[in-house]
Structures are given as C-alpha cells and as structure tokens.
Structure 1
Amino acid sequence: MAKRVIFHELVSLDQASEILLKFARPLGEEEVDIAQAYGRMLARDITAPIDVPPFDRSTVDGYAVVAEATYGASELTPVEFKLVGRVEAGDWPAGEVKPGEAFEVATGAPLPRGANAVVMVEFTQTRGDLVKIFRAVAPGENVMSAGSDISAGEVVLRHCTKLTAREIGVLAALGLRKVPVMKRPIVGIISTGNELAAPGERLGPGMLYDVNSYSLAAAVQEAGGLPVIYGIVRDEESSYKSALLKALSESDVVLISGGTSAGVADLTYRVLGELGDVLFHGVMVRPGKPTLAAVINGKIVVGLPGYPSSALMIFHTVVRPFLLKLQCVEPSPPAVYKAKLAYGVEGAKGRRALYPVVLIARKDGYKAYPLYAESGAISVLARADGYIVIPENVEFMTEGEEVDVYLFEKFKPAELYFIGSHDPHLDTILARHNVKTVYVGSMGGLMSIKRGEADFAGTHILDLETGVYNVPVVQRLGIKGAAVIGLYRREQGLIIQRGNPKGIKGVEDLLRDDVVYVNRPRGTGTRALLDIHLSKLAQRLGTPFEELIRKIRGYTYEVKTHTAVAAAVAQGRADVGMGVRYAAELYGLDFIPLGWEEYDLVVRVDVLDKVFEIVREALENLPRGYEKYEMSGRVKWEG
C-alpha cells in the first residue's frame, strides 16, 4: 500500500518562482520567415546590411534644385529655372543639377546628383522647359537623405526585442527574409486522475471533464510556448511513468496537474523523486499548497494542483515567469506613464501630433525624450518606448511639462541612458549592455547631460581657442555633477571613391567645380572638424570663411551618420565626404587621413563605476582606425 506523503518544508511563492528562474536558460535560436515572425523574440542583435533609404529621395512631388539658387523667390518675385530632366519613383536620374536648373521628381524618386532640396509642385509653374518657382527652399527640405532612417552597420534591433508590427517593418525595410528568433518552449501537459474524462466523452458516475489540459494549454500559448497535450493518465505507476518519459523526450518543459497532494494514491512526488531531483514540494500559498517541481535530465517538471483555479493561479505566479524567461520576455508594465518633457516640442498647427519618445527613468520620476523622425522613417519607432499626444489646439509644449506616454509595448527601464555622438565601435559595445541609446550628435548629447536625461554622452568637439578636445566646451556649458572620461582617438579623413577618379588630395579640392561634397549636420564633431580645416584654408587663401564655403558644392547637403556619408560617395551622389576610416572600409572606399580626434565620454559622476566597465570593454579590442591615447580610461575633468 502506498505511503502518504508529508510536506516537511514549504517554500514561499517568491522562492518557488526564484528556484525555477535559476533553470531558465535560453533554448537556442531558429530562423523563421519574416511573415511568421510576429510576436517572437530576437535571438541576436540585428545590424543593418544597407542604408534606409539607400539613396536620397524626395518626400513630395516637385522639382529637385540647388536650394541656394532659390533664395529670394516669392509670389511677387519668382525665380525661373531650366528644366533638365525628370525621374519617377523606381527609376534612376540621368544627369545632374546645377544652380539655375531643375529636375522634376515624383514622391519617393531618387534625387539627381547636385540637388539638395525639392520645391513642392504647388509652388511652381511650368511652361515648356522653364519652371517658375514662387517659394524658396532650404537645403535638405522635402528630402529624405540616404541612411537618415537607418545607417548600414548600425545595430537597429537588440537581442531579446519582441517583434511587433513596428520591428517587422524595420526588418522588411532592411530586406531581411529570414529572422533569427528564440526557440519557443515546447510544453508537455499531462492531466492525472481516475475521475477525469476528455471533453466530448460521456460522463460516467463520479467523473469530471478534464479542464486543466486545455486551460493550461491556452495559458502556455499566452506565455509564448507551444503546448502539447498528452491526455489523461490514470493513477497507475507504469502508465504514469510511460507518459512522463514520453513527454520529457518530446518537450522542453512538462506540466502535470493533479496527483501532487498527500493522498495515498498520488504518484507525482514519488515518481519525480525516482527519475530526478525534487526542487520543492509544497508552497506557502492558498490555493496551491501541493505544488511541486523537479528537474529530470536538465528539464523542469512542475506538478500543479488538480483544482483548475488553483492550477491556473500557480501557473501565472510561478510557471509563467519561467516560460517567459526562457524566451527573454519580461512581464508587461502599465500601459501609460506620467513623464516630464525633456525639451519643448511644437504641435502640428490644427492637427493632432504624435511624437515617439524614449522614456527615461530618473529618481524624481520619468522624462520623455522626443525623437524626431523624417517622413517615411520607421527606425525611430523601434527605438522609442511609446508616444505622446499633442492636441490639435496646442501649438507648443514646453520643457518640463507633464505628459502621458502611451507605451508601444512593455517598458523596462534601462540601467543607463546614452545620448550623444554616434560611434560605430562603441555602438557594438553598448549593444551588450542594458543601455538605451539615442544618437543626436555631440552637442545634443552634452545638452542632455546638462538637462539630466542622459547618464553619459559621446562627444568629440575640438575647442579652437585651446586646441583641447571636449573639456573646454563642457566647462563653457556649465555642466555640473559630471566628468569627462578619455576613451580613444578616431582617425578622421576624406572618404572618396575607390581609385580616386577625381584625383582629390585634400580639403582644397572641395572648392573645385567638378567635385560634389556630402556634409554632416551642425552640432556634430565631424562638421566642426571640417570647418576647422576650411577656416585654415580660408586664411591661407585670404578668403572669408562664408565666401569659401559658398564655393563648395554640397556643403549644405547633410546626412546624419558616417555610413550615410560613405553611402553617398559609393553611389556617386557625392565625390567626397568627411568621416571615420571605419565607414570608408565598410563601403570599400578609399580614405585620405586628415588626423586623429579624441572621442570621449561625458558621464554623470553617480554612474562613473558602471560606465568605466563599458570603457574598459571598449578599449580591449580596438579596430583599425582607433587607438588609445594617454588619457584613455581616465578622468580628464570633473565638475
């Protein structure tokens, strides 16, 4: 006769959950078609193989022009341009645009070489091969530049990201057909008891329908697992063992409902103890006291109470977190967070505005950091945690104003927030840590440190008066409670086409009529470095700086990343641009070195220890084009 099992040591509900979580190791990865990727978890970081968009394209129907040639145009004083070509979306423009010329473009069509803006068709009038323009445009207006959404080589989606419609849009934009995802746990489900009958069968005297097999299967699906129902097992040891061994051979996790109490006929405790190691038997909770768990051949088996309500409650409090952890999933937070705006944003003048934001956790609450996106951009949504709504009748929301952040998905505060200048090597290091990254340029990063959103920022700004990188500008901005850590030097130079067909030797060649340049935006360290070289050239030539840059074709043609510069050169939209050596090598281009710059980190002093771990990792294996210098890994300034 079987002996009655006695519960000697009960564990708490939290302890039961923690014990299982210690065994929550990833099950590996598999590739699925992008059409079946919804709801899955990424198994590794996704690095962009291409720029998105891969070329400069128009966001409106209109005429591609050199923006500077439109200055002064108005309804009273229109400017007349010569029409030199036309291109539709999906075609490639033949020829180039010079000042005083226009090229008709459709929405989504690539910009011809030399053009840096598009005049909307509504502000033009065409007669024959002449186009009248009634409104001036600024450089970059109505243009989405190559790599402005996603840059080749950029880590766009992180390991353990849940794939929703937004992330799948990013993957599709990158041209990825197969997606590496975490394997979903196969969960075998067994119900025990002589009193059970399967739904659809006729109930005999004293019989009950099997509820747990199906309710648990649905709960497993909700948790992302793949349930396999093994049916009802009678209270007989040989059939019980046979069903359990079959489930273990075909599943990653096994759930057994019933047979876990101290009753004479209960087999689960005895059988699990014979086949493996019992982790706990009995939980200090009501209902659910008889719950037990064991590990057999490295696989977890959980015995749940027979009562359906008890089984489901224990599943959600103990088993569900374990299944989610196997897939790199965390429980979802509330849908809306209160936060304060990091900086002011404009409304849409009579329309409701939706701004994607990064939600930043701070000791005194949350900050919402708005992310601006160009027309057609999708990558910004993958980086955002949610969005804020600006009503139709609000023209401007000010810095510090409280807003509701509507979450796209679960929100898990990052351990650290990096806002600042993009560096391709550092980006690969940050991807290994719980760091939220926002790339806004050196000056944008320094201002985010000053306002309190960022924990650390990357910067590479040379002070002309002292010849010192980064520290003087931090001091001038009056940033308190932060330190400048020396990171490394990066080799900057001119990125040119393979074989250097234009015979470019240095910055002086940017003044040539047959050379088109691609620039970085104001506020970036690379733009500042170029202007330093141009200022020296202007002094040598005895020419005012403003007059000198007007001679450079493409000086106002701006792209946001180093790889976007390389893409413009590789595709022939420009002959030359300034960037790091890494970007040139990524595109197989030639590189003319102009010197080395110091790329440093500005760090809040209360997180210095955490950031130093990242610094040490970044300095371990530097790729070509990077080198340590005397202050690498050390505090250069603290204030």
Structure 2
Amino acid sequence: MKRVIFHDLITLDEAKEILVSRARPLGVEEVPLEEAYGRVLAEDVYSPVDVPPFDRSTVDGYAVVSADLAGASEISPVKLTLKGRVEAGGFPDFELSRGEAAEVATGAPIPRGADAVVMVEYTSEREGAVVVYRSVYPGENVVPAGSDFSAGELILRKCTRLTQREIGVLAAAGVRRPRVYRRPKVAIISTGNELEEPGVPLARGKLYDVNTYSLAAAVVESGGAPIIVGRARDDLEEYREILGKALAAADLVLISGGTSAGMADLTYRVLGDMGRVLFHGIKVRPGKPTIAAEVDGKIVVGLPGYPPSALMIFHSVVRPALLSMQCMRQTPPAVYRARLSMRTEGAKGRRSLYPVVLINKGGYVAYPLNAESGLISVLARADGYIVIPEDVEFMEEGEEVEVYLFERYTPASLYFIGSNDIFLDRILAKFDVKAIYVGSMGGILAVKRGEADVAGTHMLDPETGEYNSPVIRRLGVKGAVLVRGFAREQGLVVARGNPKGIRGFEDLLRSDVVMVNRPRGTGTRTLLDMKLEEIAKGRGISVEELAKNIRGYTHEVRTHTAVAAAVAQGRADVGLAIRYAAEIYGLDFIPVGWEIYDLLIREEALERAGPIIEELKRASEMPPGYKRLPETGEVVAKF
C-alpha cells in the first residue's frame, strides 16, 4: 500500500471555520424544566407575569404605614392596633389605615395601605396591639411587585444556555416547558486492534479504550448527546459497516485513530470513498493527521489516536462546530480585574457578593446590579460577581476589583444602560447588546462616564416642559447625540370600570384612594411630581406637604407593569404608567399625555448602533399606546 504524504496542510483556524461553516441548528423541541439543564433556548423568553406578583415581605414582622413610626425608639415606642395576620401563601382581605399594623411572615403579601415592614425583633405584642421600638423608611423590608422582572419583559435571550440560574428564572416566570434546540447526536467510534474495554484484564499488546469515554464526556460538556457505537478493528469491511451505523444514528461522527498515513490506517481511505474530504492535515502539533469529510450530508471527523491529541483537537476544532449547532459560541473562562463603576456598600461584618455586568471600554468596568433579597433575574443578567471583604464598609467608584465569572465572558458589541422599554427591548434582542436597566437618569450618567454606548431616556425637564435634551445639557454630557425614538402615552391606570370614579390628579388626595408610585429619577415620577406641584401651588403649599396627604405616594415600584399589577390586584386604586401596561392587565386608562422616549448615543458608538436605529425606523407595528414621530431615527441634538 502506498503511503499518503501530507502536502496541503491548513491552519487550525481554517479547520475550525470549515466545520463551523457547515454547522447548523438541528431543529427545536420542548423539554420539561427538570430536563432543561445545559440546553439552549431556541427563542427569546418574555415573562407572562410580574415577579414577584405582589408586594411581599422579606422578613417576619409587621406591615405598617411608615409615617406612623416617625421618631419611634425604645424610649418612645409607638403603639399600633393589630388589624390581622398574613401567612406566606395567603392574601390579605383587609387594608391598613393610619395607626394599624398587620403581622406578616417572610414572603407573605403586605396588605393594601402598608408601605413598610418592621422586623419582629423590634416589636412586642400586647392585648391586640403591637408596640414598635424603631422607625422604618418607606419600602423597608418590602420587595415590590415586578421588582425582579415585569410582565412582558425580556428575561432570557435566544441562544442562552440554561444553567441553574436561568432555570430558576424560567420557573419564577411560570415557564414549564421551554423551547430549546435539539442536542446534536454525536456517534463515537474508536479504531484499532489494540483497544480493549476498560474493566477487563489486558492481554499483551492491548490498551484500554480511552478515547471513547473521554470524547463522550467532552461531547456532553459541549451540550451534545454521545452515542457510543463501539470499536472498529483494522478491517476495511468492518470499518465501513460500523461507520454506516454511526451515520444512521447521529448528526456528527467522531472517529479516533486511523487518520495518519500508516499502512493500517483506514479512516482517510474510507472517508475518501464514502464522501467528500474537507481537509486532511492541520498545521498543528500534536494533531497533524486530523481529517474531516462530509458523508450523506453529515460531518465526520477523524481525530488522532493518542488521547491527549484527540482531546486537544476536539476542543480546538470540533467543539466550536457543536456549539454552533446549538447557537452557542466558544469563549474561555477567566477572572478579570476591572474598575468599579459606582460606589458600592459592603455588608458591615459579612462578606458581600455583588453580581456585576462586565463592560469592556478600553479597560474593564464592573457595573454592580441590584442584589435585593430574592431577585433571581439579577444573576441571569450578570457576567460574574465581586467580593467585598467583611472589614470593608464600602468600595469607591473607580476602585479596582476582581470579577469572578459565572461562565465564560464574551464582550458585547454595544452596552445599553438606561430606562427599560418593552418595545425597544424587542429591537435590542436582535443584536449583540448587553442591557442594564437603571432608569433614565442612571443611563444619562452612564453615557457621561463612558460606560454606556447607548442610553434610553424619557426625562421631562420641569423648567422647560421638554423631554431629554435640557436635562442632558444640564448634566454636562459631551461627545454624544440624541436620536429621536418614539412617543408613549402616559395616563392614570385604574381598575376596570373605574369604581372609584377617578378623573385626574386631584383625586389622588382623596382619603379613600390609594396610589402606587414610580421611583425618583424616572421620567414618569418627574411628570407626576410636576402635576402635583401645580396642585400644590394652587393650594399655597409645598409639594412635600401635599404628598403627605396622598396615600401610597411613598410606595414605589420599578416598572410600568408593576404599577398595573398593583391596581389589578386591588393593592392600589391608581398609578401613573404607560397605556401598554394597562392593556396587559385589562385595566382602564385615563390619558394624561404623550412622553418622548429617546436614545442618547455616544458619538464613537453611533456607527455600531446604526443597525438598531435602522430597525427602529423600519418598525411598522408598535404596541398599544406607542406612536412613531416625524423624526424617529434621526439625530435631533448634539452634545
């Protein structure tokens, strides 16, 4: 037999690209959540519900109206009437008025009218009353509805590999059977007369079959499903027969051994006869005789027989193709040194772990995410975490930290920081964008610091009544442009049929009306406070005084849909939000006006953001309560 001499060697990168270019996802299937670990999402997942679906307590204690406890201490305790008790899994059928409290368990819903929970350690119960020995601030020990993620929010992206964190997110959203890509079936054949099954005594000249089992494990780690076909002796007909079985059973075939130019090496001969050889020989050591072919439309890869060589070539050449068949990319894990984007508090005597997003801006920036009790969506968005030692009270902005990655890190093409919008979310999902939602003001400041490429903002300037531009100028942002986005209709969200007969902002002052509010720094909150300031001026009092007479003014939730959830569940009578949130929950909507949601983009990122802008221009269908503007997609201001 004439020996084969390798003349046309290709590079390792070329070999990888040849296989990756032929790798395609193999179809979609639904799997039970308990079998979803390691699978890859075949579609974007939007939450059908708010999580949590109600305002809940993070401690055992008493739900209260925080204003009742102003100045409370061990010297001057406050006595409240015990109105009722709420256990986890139950739901209160009563509301709290001033001077009342309700016992709540950890995880239990807080009753309407309450805006904080005081820990049981700071209370005592006596004859139908609760004595409280410390004050609480609005929202203390309460996780608001939708603070984890909101109904309609993109919670996991297509092509995300499901680990324990993502599966927790799916379970929290009530997704029972996610749609995932089918796992590649990978048939494994080892060749050689010398191979023996592990566990049996070795005869002279025999070796245990290592590659079958090491490659099977490598396939599992790569998300594939291994099929152990068996071992082929150095016999041409037996070799053809076992390869035929493998091709019938699998999507990809791995053969170890028999790839070099030796007299007994059959792989290159069989593959050359049965299919089309893609390459034979790579400029790498070890692994030079690696061969790949296309047989019956399937990829067959012949790996070196030596186990270390077989595994190294698998990880360098085959694994990227397997990942591509599942819509995944290969990236190495690491611990990164990064600059902290903002001052971050420690846990005072306890080691603090903070989930972070890692932003690559000519040096890594670690952007801490809100790690409130019970928020699992934070982990799904985070790249890793930082550790704040027990004896450190806080770490300053700009301080160097180590980021411990959860998985492998892949820098995004664009970083979006700012106000969340469900419509824009669907556009961003089409591109390689890392999104962090911190509100309009947080986004503008992130662009100013150079951490964000794009910010979503709908900040109303109280002085001019204009959106976005005046606020951005006042904050001193430089080297950025404002691209016109779209308009969203704002209004008062009320129960179906409007049972309280609410007509406008004046009704928020009624004693029988409970509202739900948005946080400071959001465009919606700014609009509300402007409306209240007009009322306050008419009455000759300050906004602060006026707010004291509004039940629920201090009850803040993160999203528009969380406002709607509070109204839908009867925890509030009214809240200011966009029309789309009311539509989701089937609520009535009292229009107030239209706000403008724009994109603030750093000039150096404008070209990279171009596809997003074009997609925004092309978008023909918008949710209820949205509308295009004449300048949508155009630069309307420079800074």
The one-letter code of the counterpart of 2:500 is K
The one-letter code of the counterpart of 1:533 is K
Offset at 1:200?
A: 5.2
2:630 is the alignment partner of 1:630: yes
Greater displacement, 162-171 / 509-518: 162-171
The one-letter code of the counterpart of 2:492 is L
Offset at 1:148?
A: 0.9
Correspondence for 1:566: 564
Offset at 1:290?
A: 1.6
Offset at 1:21?
A: 1.1
Aligned counterparts of 2:492 and 2:420: Cα–Cα separation in 1? 18
Q: 1:473 to 1:37 in 2, by over 3 A?
A: same
Q: 1:511 aligns with which of 483, 505, 509?
A: 509
Contact 1:582 1:625 in 2 (8 A): yes
Structure 2 stretches of 5 or more lacking a match?
A: none
Correspondence for 1:214: 213
Aligned counterparts of 2:78 and 2:262: Cα–Cα separation in 1? 94
Aligned counterparts of 1:130 and 1:205: Cα–Cα separation in 2? 87
Offset at 1:273?
A: 2.9
Offset at 1:265?
A: 4.5
| Partner-residue secondary structure (3-state), 2:606 | helix
Offset at 1:156?
A: 1.3
| Partner-residue secondary structure (3-state), 2:591 | strand
Greater displacement, 297-306 / 137-146: 297-306
Please give the per-residue CA displacement for 1:413-433, whole angstroms capped at 9, x wherever unaligned: 111111111111111111222
The one-letter code of the counterpart of 1:626 is Y
Aligned counterparts of 2:205 and 2:59: Cα–Cα separation in 1? 74
- Count matched residues: 637
Aligned counterparts of 1:152 and 1:212: Cα–Cα separation in 2? 48
The one-letter code of the counterpart of 2:335 is V
Aligned counterparts of 2:79 and 2:239: Cα–Cα separation in 1? 88
| Partner-residue secondary structure (3-state), 1:216 | helix
Contact 1:61 1:120 in 2 (8 A): yes
Correspondence for 1:353: 352
Greater displacement, 235-244 / 508-517: 235-244
Please give the per-residue CA displacement for 1:226-283, whole angstroms capped at 9, x wherever unaligned: 2212222234443322222221111010012233223445433333233322111111
2:433 is the alignment partner of 1:430: no
Correspondence for 1:609: 607
Contact 1:332 1:409 in 2 (8 A): no
Aligned counterparts of 2:567 and 2:323: Cα–Cα separation in 1? 46
Aligned counterparts of 2:311 and 2:92: Cα–Cα separation in 1? 63
The one-letter code of the counterpart of 2:557 is V
The one-letter code of the counterpart of 1:105 is V
Offset at 1:117?
A: 0.9
Please give the per-residue CA displacement for 1:403-457, whole angstroms capped at 9, x wherever unaligned: 1111111111111111111111111111222111111111111111112211111
The one-letter code of the counterpart of 1:414 is A
Offset at 1:538?
A: 3.0
Contact 1:357 1:371 in 2 (8 A): yes
Contact 1:198 1:232 in 2 (8 A): no
Offset at 1:587?
A: 1.1
Aligned counterparts of 1:396 and 1:108: Cα–Cα separation in 2? 29
Correspondence for 1:531: 529
Q: How does 1:73-88 map to 2 (within 5 A)?
A: 73-88=72-87
Q: 2:486 aligns with which of 478, 485, 488?
A: 488
Contact 1:85 1:94 in 2 (8 A): no
Correspondence for 2:413: 415
Q: How does 1:126-165 map to 2 (within 5 A)?
A: 126-165=125-164
Q: How does 1:288-307 map to 2 (within 5 A)?
A: 288-307=287-306
The one-letter code of the counterpart of 1:51 is D
Please give the per-residue CA displacement for 1:473-520, whole angstroms capped at 9, x wherever unaligned: 111111111111111111111111112111222222212211111100
2:278 is the alignment partner of 1:272: no
Offset at 1:550?
A: 2.0
Greater displacement, 29-38 / 410-419: 29-38
Contact 1:47 1:156 in 2 (8 A): yes
Aligned counterparts of 1:458 and 1:101: Cα–Cα separation in 2? 41
Aligned counterparts of 1:200 and 1:117: Cα–Cα separation in 2? 64
Correspondence for 1:45: 44
Q: 1:137 to 1:206 in 2, by over 3 A?
A: closer
Q: How does 1:381-420 map to 2 (within 5 A)?
A: 381-420=379-418
Correspondence for 1:247: 246
Q: 1:544 aligns with which of 538, 542, 545?
A: 542
Offset at 1:543?
A: 4.3
Offset at 1:577?
A: 0.8
Offset at 1:598?
A: 0.7
Contact 2:232 2:238 in 1 (8 A): yes
Correspondence for 1:33: 32
Aligned counterparts of 1:371 and 1:261: Cα–Cα separation in 2? 53
Offset at 1:3?
A: 5.0
| Partner-residue secondary structure (3-state), 1:97 | coil
Correspondence for 1:441: 439
Contact 2:56 2:143 in 1 (8 A): yes
Aligned counterparts of 2:207 and 2:86: Cα–Cα separation in 1? 72
Correspondence for 1:465: 463
2:584 is the alignment partner of 1:590: no
Greater displacement, 325-334 / 505-514: 325-334
Q: 1:305 to 1:463 in 2, by over 3 A?
A: same
Q: 1:387 to 1:309 in 2, by over 3 A?
A: closer
Offset at 1:173?
A: 1.8
| Partner-residue secondary structure (3-state), 2:607 | helix
Contact 1:12 1:285 in 2 (8 A): yes
Correspondence for 2:342: 343
| Partner-residue secondary structure (3-state), 1:404 | strand
| Aligned CA-pair RMSD | 1.9
Q: 1:123 to 1:199 in 2, by over 3 A?
A: closer
| Partner-residue secondary structure (3-state), 1:244 | helix
The one-letter code of the counterpart of 1:86 is R
Aligned counterparts of 1:580 and 1:521: Cα–Cα separation in 2? 15
Contact 2:352 2:389 in 1 (8 A): yes
2:329 is the alignment partner of 1:330: yes
The one-letter code of the counterpart of 1:634 is E
Aligned counterparts of 1:262 and 1:61: Cα–Cα separation in 2? 73
Contact 1:50 1:152 in 2 (8 A): yes
Offset at 1:209?
A: 4.2
Contact 1:283 1:290 in 2 (8 A): yes
Correspondence for 1:24: 23
Correspondence for 1:367: 365
The one-letter code of the counterpart of 1:96 is E
Aligned counterparts of 1:276 and 1:50: Cα–Cα separation in 2? 52
Contact 2:287 2:310 in 1 (8 A): yes
2:307 is the alignment partner of 1:308: yes
Offset at 1:194?
A: 4.0
The one-letter code of the counterpart of 2:406 is F
Aligned counterparts of 1:325 and 1:50: Cα–Cα separation in 2? 32
Please report the TM-score for the alignment, with normalisation by the length of structure 2. 0.95
Contact 2:413 2:608 in 1 (8 A): no
Q: 1:241 to 1:575 in 2, by over 3 A?
A: same
Aligned counterparts of 1:263 and 1:120: Cα–Cα separation in 2? 77
Correspondence for 2:175: 176
Please report the TM-score for the alignment, with normalisation by the length of structure 1. 0.95
Offset at 1:568?
A: 0.5
The one-letter code of the counterpart of 1:256 is I
Greater displacement, 562-571 / 208-217: 208-217
Offset at 1:319?
A: 1.3
Correspondence for 1:600: 598
Offset at 1:329?
A: 3.4
Offset at 1:215?
A: 2.9
